[in-house]
Structures are given as structure tokens and as C-alpha cells.
């Protein structure tokens, strides 16, 4: 039985979380650049924008996958 693969789904979840965290940070930075106070924007709106950003920029997923691998959250590619 392959124990190492029993938690492989966690790596995929970690990648999604890391990509969304990066997108949230980008959205907040953009709001600040526009002179909008981040705390005045509902978190729901920030999350909606972040999800759209991840959908529009698949490189965020690739960057998150690299970060997850560095953090040991996913298996190393051979």
C-alpha cells in the first residue's frame, strides 16, 4: 500500500491556497495603489477579485506549485 500518496490531495489544496493568498496580496496592493484604504473594502469583494485574478493568470498557480514544493507541501518531481 502506498502511504506516501494517501495525502497527495493535500498538496493540490495547498497550491490553491497559496495561489489565492498571492492573489489576495496583489489585489490589496492594487487597491493601495489606487488610493483606496484596504480596510474599507469588504473582504468578500477582495476574495472575489482574487479568485478572478487566479482564473485570469494561471502563472499564479505555477508559482504557488513551486512555493509548495519548496515548503515541502508537495512531492518532488523526478
Residue 3 lies in a domain: no
Whole-prediction pTM: 0.82
Report how many domains make up the chain. 1
Q: To which H or E segment does residue 66 belong?
A: helix 59-70
The answer to whether position 57 is within a domain reads yes
pLDDT confidence of residue 74: 83
| Residue 76, in any domain of the structure | no
Residues of the domain holding 43: 8-70
Which of 4, 2, 14, 30 is closest to 73 using CA atoms? Answer: 14
Residue 51 located in a structural domain: yes
Residue 77 forms part of a structural domain:
no
Report, as an integer, the average pLDDT of 23-40.
97
Could you tell me if residue 52 is inside a domain? yes
pLDDT computed for residue 76 by the predictor: 66
Q: For the segment 34-65, what is each residue's pLDDT rounded down to a tens digit? A: 999 999 999 999 999 999 999 999 999 999 99
DSSP code of residue 76: P
Residue 1 maps to a domain: no
Amino acid at each position: 500500500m502506498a502511504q506516501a500518496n494517501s495525502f497527495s490531495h493535500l498538496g493540490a489544496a495547498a497550491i490553491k491556497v497559496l495561489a489565492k493568498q498571492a492573489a489576495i496580496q496583489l489585489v490589496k496592493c492594487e487597491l493601495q495603489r489606487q488610493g483606496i484604504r484596504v480596510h474599507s473594502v469588504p473582504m468578500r469583494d477582495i476574495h472575489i477579485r482574487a479568485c478572478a485574478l487566479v482564473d485570469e493568470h494561471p502563472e499564479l498557480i505555477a508559482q504557488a506549485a513551486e512555493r509548495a514544493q519548496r515548503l515541502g507541501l508537495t512531492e518532488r518531481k523526478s
